[in-house]
Copies of this chain bind each other. A is one copy, B any other.
Amino acid sequence: MSFTQSSLKIGELATGQDLSIPIFSYECTRSKAPSVYIQANVHGAEVQGNAVIYQLMKLLEQYTVCGDITLVPLANPLGINQKSGEFTLGRFDPITGVNWNREYLDHQVDVEVWYKAHNLLSDADLITQFKAMLLEACYTRLNSEWGITTGHQQAVNLQVMAHQADIVLDLHTGPKSCKHLYCPEYDVRAASFFSIPYTLLIPNDFGGAMDESIFCPWWQLSEHMKSTGRDLKVPVSAFTLELGSQENINLEDALVDAKGILAYLSERGVIEQSLEPATMKRYACYLKDYKKFHSPLGGMVEYLAEVGEPLKLGAPLANILRLDLYDTDKALTPLSLSQDCVPILHFASASVYQGTELYKVMTKVFEI
């Protein structure tokens, strides 16, 4: 197989230049396996997903693909091209401050009302109608009489593509981070296929991210139907993969993650060949047990705890160096936590204000 490249316009710059996104797609002509949508680099500094898509395309060309595939690297051109100093300032809209990954449409479907109007439909028709309704809502948003913000326009255009797929992967990274996966609680089995050691199990709440914008309406529908006594397996799978640290391209490591994704696609029947997932221990915690530790003081930071390595209660997490307090007991403040955890990521800079999010750690971790 080979991919067809096209381009989607999602905005215009002040100079008039189009903001557009490259799209690589494969349309399967035979009886269909689930369709796949994968995007990368919605946060401008989180570039490694592009390398993963690159490796994945090269791998896929060697396999028999049974489902439609849409790949969208470089998904946020405005964010990717926005430097501030030597780093990419790509986490939020530089004008509004809104996180690029919180711009997706929150459908807020009243599933009770909707289901009451459609409960005579078969499962297949129900799915078709619900998906059509979600897409319609996106198109309505895009064509608002009063216009649409730069960020929404981009995000909802991506969302339109994602709503049409059965499997949605959003490739991100952390700041300084080990690999971890955001996985909805209903789909935990999927976590054993990716080459990712840590999984966050997320509940059925819309926080604004791509994966949530895709699965939340379906999950809500499924839960409501269950309460009426009818079972509908959530028909979409949507995950955010955090593939290490931002500001890093590593092709070899990208191959590892491309293979993990391939193993999942194999499991789902998207490729005909059977592929084994990587043999590794995999751990998880619930989102409510994923804790942000904020720096209790401002200063220079020596990060001591390694990301991805379990850390015992009281073990050294970080030192805060305060030269202005030399010769006092505050010159060097060792920080530790009061419970066992696994540090998943830490802040990117070596100096912090009081309150800066220093580490995010999993607590109450269990093997899956």
Please state if B249 and A321 are interface contacts (CB–CB under 8 Å).
yes
Partner of A298, one of B15, B248, B297, B322: B15
Q: List residues of A (128-179) whose CB comes within 8 Å of B's CBs.
A: 145-153, 175
Partner of A324, one of B15, B291, B292, B303: B15
Partner of A91, one of B85, B99, B332: B85
Closest to A7 in B: B324
Please state if B251 and A45 are interface contacts (CB–CB under 8 Å).
no
Indicate whether A119 reaches chain B with its CB closer than 8 angstroms: no
A147-B294, A293-B146, A300-B47 known; A248 vs B11 contact (CB < 8 Å): no
Please tell me how many copies of the chain the complex holds.
Answer: 4
Please state if A249 and B301 are interface contacts (CB–CB under 8 Å).
yes
Indicate whether A367 reaches chain B with its CB closer than 8 angstroms: no
Please state if B323 and A74 are interface contacts (CB–CB under 8 Å).
yes
Q: List residues of A (40-84) whose CB comes within 8 Å of B's CBs.
A: 44-45, 47, 50-51, 53-54, 57, 73-74, 77-78, 80-84
Please state if B54 and A351 are interface contacts (CB–CB under 8 Å).
no
Please state if A83 and B54 are interface contacts (CB–CB under 8 Å).
no
Closest to A86 in B: B348
Please state if A349 and B45 are interface contacts (CB–CB under 8 Å).
yes
Please state if A83 and B95 are interface contacts (CB–CB under 8 Å).
yes
A13-B298, A298-B14 known; A354 vs B150 contact (CB < 8 Å): yes
- Interface pairs A-B: 10 shortest CB-CB: A147-B294, A92-B97, A12-B298, A150-B355, A97-B97, A12-B354, A14-B351, A86-B348, A84-B84, A73-B323
